[in-house]
A and B are shown apart, each in its own frame.
Chain A
Amino acid sequence: MIHTENLTKKFGDVVAVQDLSLDVREGEVFGFLGPNGAGKTTTVRLLTSLIAPTSGTAVVNGFRSGTNDNDIRRTVGVLTETPGMYDNLSAEYNLRLFAELYEVKDVAGQVEKYLHMLGLWERRNDPAGTFSKGMKQKLAIARAMIHEPRLLFLDEPTSGLDPEAARLVRDFIAELRKEGRTIFMCTHNLDEADRLCDRVGVFKTRVLVVDTPGNLRNSLFGRKVVFHLRETSTGFVDAVQKLDHVRDVKIVDNKLVMTVDDPEVQNPEIVRVLVGAGADIRFVGELRHSLEDVYFQLVKA
């Protein structure tokens, strides 16, 4: 759905995006993570043909940026950083306007569908300016979806929303994912990216890494297993350290924490060794690093 090669954007001497080479596959939710000013919005604008690259290429939905710009705009949906609604016009008019610009066949039907879907039907005749921030964001999402694009760009979809509105937006994104739509999502919310995204790209002017959240965790921190014991002893540490696949064994309170290559395969053996050494095991779990840990590790590096 998206393929870029050495995509670069400079504003004068300032490099906003450098040598971005990326592939986003059909049907996946791709999270684009990065600090403020990293160039995430510029990347979305490049990929939606709102601005032209300084060098490099971008192919979106099979159309080449710079050559088929109108085709790209016709086939993608964009949720911009700020909703940017026409505040004096009704919610329904706002959607109808964009449905007509996208040349949607059943304008009234599509408008009604998305107003219902996002819980705005009852307020359809109210000016968008009277809406709360969350409602405006929902209306902006409806606007981005009105022509049923298979590829959707969401720039900070839950930024500034209260927890309830943010959850509704996240649930809607999850629905879109189930429908098989491809979503390119810029976000600061790492927990959200962890829950919604199939893959994430950590970005700071250039792409630092692209992978699934799970693989990123494992590659940076390994997989850590925690054995909760009735009481700990250094003898237990010595016993498990003899195993080849166990590293970095530490005692934390009444717990033994260790890095293991493949817990599903190796945990039974560790349990046998610990029990053999006289340990009384209460519980075994995996210590899960958050995507936030991954992000900070990468961005700070």
Chain B
Amino acid sequence: MNWHKIKVIVRKEWAEVFKNRMVLFTVAFLPLLMTAIPLAIIYGTGQAGMGDSVTSEVPAQAISAMCPPGLKGGECFQVFMVSQFMMMFMILPMAIPGTIAAYSIVGEKTTRSLEPLLATPITTAELLIGKCLSAVIPAVIATYGAFALFALGTWILVANRALLSALLDARWLIAIVIVGPLLATLEVTFALMVSSRVSDPRVAEQISMVIIVPLLAGFFGQMAGFFILDRNLILLIALVLVGVDVLMAYFATKVFQREAILTRWK
């Protein structure tokens, strides 16, 4: 494995893809939106002084599982609502790199730049790792940045230290720092697989976004109180994702057939 060549591919992808305003918009806008919404909820619910009447409208089991002792009903509601956005912060690193990854193979084929690239002494693994990292790294940086903004905003908005520590507990850190990059890798490897098989960048992008659907189902499942995303569950998800990512990376390398890409695509 030649890491210099991988770095060259990463730099090339960034040099190319960030000249596209749409990609820049996707990378910047979505994280800002995902940060603004939970902060607005914290601010709004705090200002309104929501009390026990509101907490009665959300699943009691969910509230009690998330709410540490010592917090009032309205504060528990804040913790519950903002916790729902943890799932959104996990979706973020999946949504951002889809465009970059889907474009990376199909786009090269449509501009006919893939053949000269494949004619160089770069292995399939080096090429795919380079393309994968070029999509995962911006997504992870944007997610970490968004979470840092969220943490800062929460610190400013919430005066109650107990509520602050409930909002920014270890679950968040595990979800953002570990699960986020793993989900981004899952999305990118899937997008690369799709990208190796279709001949239109738009189709590649649309199909590759399908992988977000199970996570969205999880988001709504948690909202409905079907399960609680606690620390153990997040760690289990992280463990499963490591295995899935390794498998997906293996399949992405297998699906990327130089010959088929060069000779069958028109």
Using CB atoms and an 8 Å cutoff, list the residues of chain A in contact with chain B.
11, 42, 45, 48, 50-52, 70-71, 73-74, 78, 80, 82-89, 93, 97-98, 100-103, 140, 143
- Least CB separation from A97: chain B residue: B12
Partner of B120, one of A11, A86, A93, A98: A98
Say yes or no for B118: interface residue by CB 8 A criterion. Answer: yes
- Out of B4, B19, B117, B118, name the residue touching A103 (CB < 8 Å): B4
Q: Could you tell me if A97 and B8 are in contact, using CB atoms closer than 8 angstroms? A: yes
Q: How far is the CA of A71 from the CA of B108 in the complex (A)?
A: 24
Question: Is B121 within 8 A of A50, CB to CB?
Answer: no
- Sort A-B residue pairs by CB-CB distance and give the 5 closest, nearest first: A84-B112, A74-B121, A84-B113, A101-B120, A78-B119
Flag if A51 contacts B15 (CB, 8 Å). no
Question: Main SS of the interface on chain B?
Answer: helix
- Residues on the A chain within 8 Å of B258, using CB: 50-51
A102-B114 CB under 8 A given contacts A11-B263, A50-B258, A88-B19: no
Instruction: Judge whether B116 is part of the interface by a CB distance below 8 angstroms.
Output: yes
Provide the bound-state CA to CA distance between A276 and B210, in Å: 93
Q: How far is the CA of A80 from the CA of B111 in the complex (A)?
A: 13
Are B259 and A84 within 8 A (Cβ)?
A: no
> In the complex, what residue of chain B is closest to A103 when comparing beta carbons?
B4
Chain A residues, CB < 8 A from B162: none
User: Which residues of chain A are near B15, meaning CB under 8 Å?
Assistant: 88-89, 93
Given contacts A101-B8, A103-B4, contact A86 B121 (CB under 8 A): no
Assign chain B's interface to a size class: 20 to 34
A84 contacts across to B, CB distance below 8 A = 111-116
B→A interface (CB under 8 Å): 4-5, 8, 12, 15-16, 19-20, 111-123, 258-259, 262-263
Q: Which residues of B contact A83 (CB under 8 A)?
A: 112
Question: In angstroms, how far is the closest chain B Cβ from the Cβ of A155?
Answer: 10
Q: Which chain A residues border B8 with CB–CB below 8 Å?
A: 97, 100-101
B89 to chain A, nearest CB (A): 31
Contact (Cβ within 8 A) A88 B113: no
Interfacial chain A residues near B16, Cβ < 8 Å: 86, 88-89
A-B contact pairs, 13 of them (CB 8 A): A45-B263, A50-B262, A51-B263, A70-B123, A73-B119, A73-B120, A74-B121, A80-B119, A85-B113, A88-B15, A88-B20, A93-B15, A97-B8
A102 touching B120 by the CB < 8 A rule?
Answer: yes
A100–B4 touching, CB < 8 Å: yes
Chain B residues with CB under 8 Å of A82's CB are: 112
Which residues of A have CB within 8 Å of B123? 70
Q: In the complex, what residue of chain A is closest to B259 when comparing beta carbons?
A: A51
